[in-house]
A and B are shown apart, each in its own frame.
Chain A
């Protein structure tokens, strides 16, 4: 019987340990209400957005004493990785930020994202404020999975003073653009253009815009769709050659710095031109009082692509399928007109909420950018969100290797073709 007694002791011991782990009592607040915890995950551990969201979380918790919001934030590339890890561990946060298009679509295929159709149709007052045009990147098979919050676009920003000083005018075509870069070099700017190429997404923004200009839109559409992609158009070679051409003006520091360092160089007037998102306008304006202007990626005269489309896509919020009602309320709070207005005032990034971008909260430059986004006849999503990540990665890493002179456009496309074959299997 000794064995039976000791076994019993062990079993009791184990169960008590296990139950101690799981039997957490539901915490209650001072009024005795049950506290609902919401996990909130965003991608801005940097200022000013981190403080902004911390402040909003505090406001929401003050209004709703029964809600406790746990927040976590990691930056861009790390965010893309961490959200995947969280999905695979079944630890998807209740509310989190997401890019549009293929990034969103990938998340949706996990079957763990909440459909927002009912939420949108049941709250007309809130939903009608959100710009209709920005939904498409979050809608798949007529089901909307994300609420667009920020809108963005990419353009070449230039230092107006330097342009005027050296009598340089804004280029209309790519050839004129090269001429401008030459002229700036002659004027003493060793690096007239700069980019932080350690950030592979920065390369993808360049390539995405270039391909828009040089590749037929129909071909692009086919190549960007999983399953039908081929990447056999000669435009891709030409596009990569153009990118290489541009990196030659960036100097060899570009592969060692990130986009933030590049932006600081532009803000400090060391470099006259930077390919930058509209979201960054305020950062530049806060850094220096120089006058800046911007122009869209110039038209490529012999390119087969769309010469006017704007690169840029919205970002928004998604909910996990199991998110509580409180998380939905928090989403509405985050995308309300007041929050959006304050957000753009603090951060400078333009938002997708009607009436929340006015002369009162943005500079003239940002307002011009906002109008450009609203009026754009066609927009192209970020390249790394538009194509399969395995293919995008070959282009992005290849872009780095082009800049360091280790590879050729032909080799990159060869690798792409191999990947396309592999993906077909």
Chain B
């Protein structure tokens, strides 16, 4: 008997998950690496080996640079808003002053998270509409008609308009994670600080932030890797345009694959995205020591 009962039963339990992960994650991942060395279309499955040609072209492709820059903008702005601003929001919501209204506010902030991104994108398409959109009408109403722009049709503002929508949607989720983290902080710390005469700001910097450090790293990780993968928002709102001004790496990958039929090159872009997210994840896990706490 090769298998002893003791080893056999546990193996059996993890088998389904390994099988599912293998079939749906690891195998496609490996196949993607393999595909990125070939040139092929969706119409004919005949693959032509091209060596590193796809990767060479990746380095010359201006859209990759533009897309990567947009992803970086996405990441920076998301970290500022979704992590730092959400932390402040969570602290305020957990403050004694807000005890009565906090549950209602939590629901209000969390509501956008539950709405489908397609619905939200259509909604914001209306808000940003240059002729009758809410945003421009509002700006005109308060006398700022001169700064009203065709937000999604302007090459400099389009990516920021897309990012703004994401912030609106995701801040509630991160806030919720912070609220949970804050609720886990022992009350004694705050009581001790009260006795020492610390104000609210002091307590925030000296107790809340150090205590939620772990949650903060996790949230930064979620936000940055999420920013590297962002697809739905720019795809639905602007389809990456005008020109390539709001294209992200994922949108570029999709367009190369399913619009322009360069499946091999799309695989190479996918590989780049994978490497980027993997590197970020590794750095953050290393730096923050995530997982030791839980």
A and B held together in a complex: yes
Q: Does B262 contact A (CB under 8 A)?
A: yes
- Nearest-Cβ distance from residue B86 to partner chain A, whole angstroms: 30
Q: Does A50 contact B (CB under 8 A)?
A: no
- Nearest-Cβ distance from residue B49 to partner chain A, whole angstroms: 13
User: Per-residue CB proximity of B233-270 to A under 8 Å, as 1/0?
Assistant: 00000110111110000000001001111110000000
- In the complex, A198→B235 CA distance in Å? 12
Q: Does B64 contact A (CB under 8 A)?
A: no
With A106-B43, A389-B261 already in contact, the answer to whether A257 and B153 are too (CB < 8 A) is: yes
With A85-B258, A393-B260, A404-B155 already in contact, the answer to whether A255 and B241 are too (CB < 8 A) is: yes
User: Per-residue CB proximity of A23-41 to B under 8 Å, as 1/0?
Assistant: 0000000000000000000
Select the residue from A80, A88, A257, A406 with max chain B CB neighbours within 10 A: A88
With A255-B150, A397-B244 already in contact, the answer to whether A81 and B259 are too (CB < 8 A) is: yes
Q: Does A380 contact B (CB under 8 A)?
A: no
Q: Does B33 contact A (CB under 8 A)?
A: no
Query: Which residues in B have their C-beta under 8 angstroms from that of A110?
Result: 42-44
User: Per-residue CB proximity of A382-425 to B under 8 Å, as 1/0?
Assistant: 00000001100100011011011011000000000000001001
Q: Does A284 contact B (CB under 8 A)?
A: no
Query: Which residues in B have their C-beta under 8 angstroms from that of A111?
Result: 44
Report A107-127 residues with CB < 8 Å from chain B CB: 107, 109-111
User: Per-residue CB proximity of B173-208 to A under 8 Å, as 1/0?
Assistant: 000000000000000000000000000000000000
Indicate if the CB atoms of B239 and A198 lie closer than 8 Å: yes
User: Per-residue CB proximity of B42-61 to A under 8 Å, as 1/0?
Assistant: 11100000000100010000
Nearest-CB residue, chain A, relative to B53: A425
Nearest-CB residue, chain B, relative to A109: B43
Query: Which residues in B have their C-beta under 8 angstroms from that of A107?
Result: 43
Q: Does B24 contact A (CB under 8 A)?
A: no
With A107-B43, A109-B44, A110-B43 already in contact, the answer to whether A253 and B153 are too (CB < 8 A) is: yes
Interface size on B (CB < 8 Å)?
A: 35
- In the complex, A107→B3 CA distance in Å? 52
Query: Which residues in B have their C-beta under 8 angstroms from that of A390?
Result: 260-262
Select the residue from B12, B152, B242 with max chain A CB neighbours within 10 A: B242
Indicate if the CB atoms of A389 and B259 lie closer than 8 Å: yes
Indicate if the CB atoms of B258 and A84 lie closer than 8 Å: yes
Q: Does B128 contact A (CB under 8 A)?
A: yes
- In the complex, A230→B208 CA distance in Å? 64
With A84-B42, A393-B260 already in contact, the answer to whether A257 and B243 are too (CB < 8 A) is: no
Q: Does B154 contact A (CB under 8 A)?
A: yes
Query: Which residues in B have their C-beta under 8 angstroms from that of A80?
Result: 259
Indicate if the CB atoms of A84 and B242 lie closer than 8 Å: no
Report A37-91 residues with CB < 8 Å from chain B CB: 77, 80-81, 84-85, 87-88
- Nearest-Cβ distance from residue A414 to partner chain B, whole angstroms: 11
Q: Does B146 contact A (CB under 8 A)?
A: no
Q: Does A8 contact B (CB under 8 A)?
A: no
Select the residue from B8, B150, B238, B241 with max chain A CB neighbours within 10 A: B241
Indicate if the CB atoms of A406 and B8 lie closer than 8 Å: no
With A397-B241, A398-B243, A407-B243 already in contact, the answer to whether A84 and B131 are too (CB < 8 A) is: no
Out of A2, A252, A401, name the residue touching B5 (CB < 8 Å): A2
Q: Does B101 contact A (CB under 8 A)?
A: no
Query: Which residues in B have their C-beta under 8 angstroms from that of A77?
Result: 239
Indicate if the CB atoms of B243 and A404 lie closer than 8 Å: yes
Query: Which residues in B have their C-beta under 8 angstroms from that of A88?
Result: 42-43, 263
Out of A10, A87, A261, name the residue touching B42 (CB < 8 Å): A87
Query: Which residues in A have their C-beta under 8 angstroms from that of B150?
Result: 252-253, 255-257
Q: Does B130 contact A (CB under 8 A)?
A: yes
Query: Which residues in B have their C-beta under 8 angstroms from that of A84?
Result: 42-43, 258, 261
Indicate if the CB atoms of B242 and A401 lie closer than 8 Å: yes
Q: Does B20 contact A (CB under 8 A)?
A: no
- In the complex, A2→B261 CA distance in Å? 53
Q: Does A281 contact B (CB under 8 A)?
A: no
User: Per-residue CB proximity of A226-258 to B under 8 Å, as 1/0?
Assistant: 000000000000000000000000001111110
Out of A257, A393, A406, name the residue touching B131 (CB < 8 Å): A257
Out of B153, B244, B260, name the residue touching A198 (CB < 8 Å): B153
Q: Does B287 contact A (CB under 8 A)?
A: no
- In the complex, A119→B29 CA distance in Å? 44
Q: Does B151 contact A (CB under 8 A)?
A: yes
Report A285-319 residues with CB < 8 Å from chain B CB: none
- In the complex, A170→B43 CA distance in Å? 45
With A106-B261, A422-B57 already in contact, the answer to whether A256 and B243 are too (CB < 8 A) is: no
Query: Which residues in A have their C-beta under 8 angstroms from that of B44?
Result: 109-111
Query: Which residues in A have their C-beta under 8 angstroms from that of B241?
Result: 198, 200, 255, 397, 400
Nearest-CB residue, chain A, relative to B244: A397
- Nearest-Cβ distance from residue B105 to partner chain A, whole angstroms: 34
Indicate if the CB atoms of A255 and B261 lie closer than 8 Å: no
Select the residue from B155, B243, B245, B258 with max chain A CB neighbours within 10 A: B243
Query: Which residues in A have their C-beta under 8 angstroms from that of B1?
Result: 3
- In the complex, A77→B149 CA distance in Å? 26
- Nearest-Cβ distance from residue B59 to partner chain A, whole angstroms: 14
- Nearest-Cβ distance from residue B14 to partner chain A, whole angstroms: 14
Q: Does A357 contact B (CB under 8 A)?
A: no
Indicate if the CB atoms of A256 and B262 lie closer than 8 Å: no
Report B1-55 residues with CB < 8 Å from chain A CB: 1, 3, 5, 8, 12, 42-44, 53
> What are 30 A-B pairs with beta-carbon distances under 8 A?
A2-B5, A3-B1, A3-B8, A80-B259, A84-B42, A84-B261, A88-B42, A106-B261, A107-B43, A109-B44, A111-B44, A200-B239, A200-B241, A252-B153, A253-B130, A253-B150, A255-B153, A255-B154, A255-B241, A256-B152, A389-B259, A389-B260, A390-B261, A390-B262, A393-B255, A393-B260, A400-B243, A401-B243, A401-B244, A425-B53
The 4 closest A-B pairs by CB, nearest first: A256-B153, A256-B150, A255-B153, A401-B243
